[in-house]
Amino acid sequence: MIATSLLQIIYLIASVTFIVGLKFLGNPATARKGNLIAAFGMTLAIFGTIFLYQKDGENLHNLPWIFAGLAVGTILGFFAAKKVQMTAMPEMVSLFNGMGGACAMLISIIEFQHLSSGSLVGQEATVLIILVGMIIGSVSFSGSMVAWGKLSGNVKDKSFGKQQFINIGLLVVILALAYFTIMGTNADPSMLFYAVLTLSLLYGILFVLPIGGADMPVVISLLNSFTGVAAACGGFIYDNKVMLVGGILVGSAGTLLTIVMCKAMNRSLLNVLIGNFGGGAKGEAAGSSTFEGSIKEVNASDAAILMRYAKKVIIVPGYGLAVAQAQHVVHDLELLLESEGVEVKYAIHPVAGRMPGHMNVLLAESNVSYDKLVEMEEINPEFNSTDVVLVVGANDVVNPAAKTDPNSPIYGMPILDVENAANVIVNKRSMKAGYAGIENELFYKPKTSMLFGDAKKALTELVNEIKALG
């Protein structure tokens, strides 16, 4: 009795740490602390369950297997997180999320086996919760694995005729079989259950497969919310308060993040799921543009003069900055310009780097002050009074086509208004199209100059040239 009461207190403390940790994650300055607080709560809940949980007066069995699993998971997770590059963070999130969905799926399978060993009569509510957790967890697992493959470049966008109708039909069959499993028929309930499991895994694959690459971060966020709901179902099954609270928090946070990302692209979730935006088609090659004007190239020396004698410079970081691991060099550039009396800020688009917060974390690695990271809504009015904008590896988030071309797949997406600045310098490796697969009208504007090359190398040359100016 004492152990049970103590375990409930531990669950309450852990639940509070999840909420506090999530609150801290909302600010870059406190995000690390929030992560540690939530991790502490999870550790407390895990070990509290291992040593204090009792059922029918007995503690948990198979402790060696439990600790072996904890050890393997901890080691794999630690080294995976240590080795992952910032550019691979979206697929890492997708992979970890898929593991969460798999856990929820396995819990449902095990609990259904226990339940089906007796009579299912009178157990309809429990079977319903098990099936909901299994269906959502399975979809999250298989869908996340496809998303991970697409983001890592191992799986291509693939769609076929009537795929959306096939998906809807498959979902209807899954729900019908689940209904018959709950209500009971002459068919073997285990056979129905595993049919639902198989079709749910297939649905997860077909659900994600046709969605374009540029929309994958939205899909990852949506699948993350699915995993949270599946985990909450596990909390219902075991009457485990901390599992329920954690699942609800993950589910609601994933849903809110999905809404934020859709808003950042000015698109509905339905449009993301059926619009096939960002997939397949690539932009035209350099030299075949239909835009008026021509590409104007600038060297590091001329760019250095322009920035050194400016009063205000805004840096727009993008995925290319992360690929080149140039976050430390860009911070050196910022400090150098400030030492010369230049005001420097960073303009952060909500989905820059393909995931919300991606650029914030990247720049935090190089100790860029948080107050210099300015969100899109706040920084856009400042471009009119900016002497030079330096775009490093960003593309679609500064493409004027989002405002001017109704036929563009990114039309209506809020962007950074960099074209309003007096001068724009764009650092890119080449004229290759961005993540959405379309050309950028900004590159052909009279005020735009292209600084070609790897971001780290180009920025290092820029820093050296500014230093040489004295």
| Residue 434 confidence (pLDDT) | 61
Exposed, middle or buried, 165 (CB in 10 Å: 0-12/13-18/19+)? exposed
Question: At 33, which amino acid appears?
Answer: K
| Residue 280 confidence (pLDDT) | 40
What phi and psi values does residue 439 have, to the nearest 5 degrees? Answer: -75, 160
| Residue 278 confidence (pLDDT) | 43
Task: Count CB atoms within 10 A of the CB of residue 400.
Answer: 18
Across the beta sheet with 388-392, the strand order is 373-375, 343-348, 312-317, 388-392, 423-428, 448-452
Q: Are 372 and 337 in contact (CB under 8 A)?
A: no
User: Whole-angstrom Cα distance, residue 51 to residue 70?
Assistant: 14
User: Whole-angstrom Cα distance, residue 311 to residue 332?
Assistant: 18
Helix segments in 152-215, DSSP class H: 163-183, 189-208
Q: CA–CA distance from 378 to each of 345, 349, 372, 383, 423 (Å)?
A: 11, 11, 12, 10, 20
Q: CA–CA distance from 90 to each of 25, 215, 345, 353, 356 (Å)?
A: 17, 12, 25, 9, 10
Query: Which H helix or E strand runs over 135?
Result: helix 124-151
What phi and psi values does residue 316 have, to the nearest 5 degrees? Answer: -110, 100
What would the two tokens of residue 202 be? 């297939």
Q: Is 278 left (phi over 0), alpha (psi -120 to 50) or beta?
A: left
Q: 3-class SS at 424? A: strand
| Among 215, 332, 396, 417, the one annotated catalytic | 396
Question: 157 catalytic, yes or no?
Answer: no
Question: At 299, which amino acid appears?
Answer: N
What would the two tokens of residue 206 be? 């077909």
| Residue 279 confidence (pLDDT) | 42
User: Whole-angstrom Cα distance, residue 416 to residue 67?
Assistant: 50
Residues 6+ away with beta carbon under 8 Å from 394: 316, 317, 318, 319, 320, 321, 349, 352, 416
| Residue 404 confidence (pLDDT) | 84
Q: What is the distance, to the nearest Å, from the Cα of residue 115 to the centroid of all Cα atoms in its chain?
A: 36
Query: Residues of the chain whose pLDDT is less than 70?
Result: 157, 159-161, 212-214, 267, 271-293, 353-354, 433-437
Q: How many residues does the chain have?
A: 470
Q: For residue 425, what are the β-bridge partners?
A: 390, 449
Q: Are 400 and 432 in contact (CB under 8 A)?
A: no
| Radius of gyration in angstroms for the set of CA atoms belonging to the chain, rounded to a whole number | 26
Q: For residue 344, what are the β-bridge partners?
A: 313
Q: Are 264 and 142 in contact (CB under 8 A)?
A: no
Per-state percent for the chain, helix, strand, coil, to nearest 5: 65, 10, 30
User: Whole-angstrom Cα distance, residue 32 to residue 26?
Assistant: 10
| Residue 385 confidence (pLDDT) | 95
| Residue 214 confidence (pLDDT) | 62
Q: Are 204 and 146 in contact (CB under 8 A)?
A: yes
What would the two tokens of residue 125 be? 């509510």
What would the two tokens of residue 333 be? 């550039």
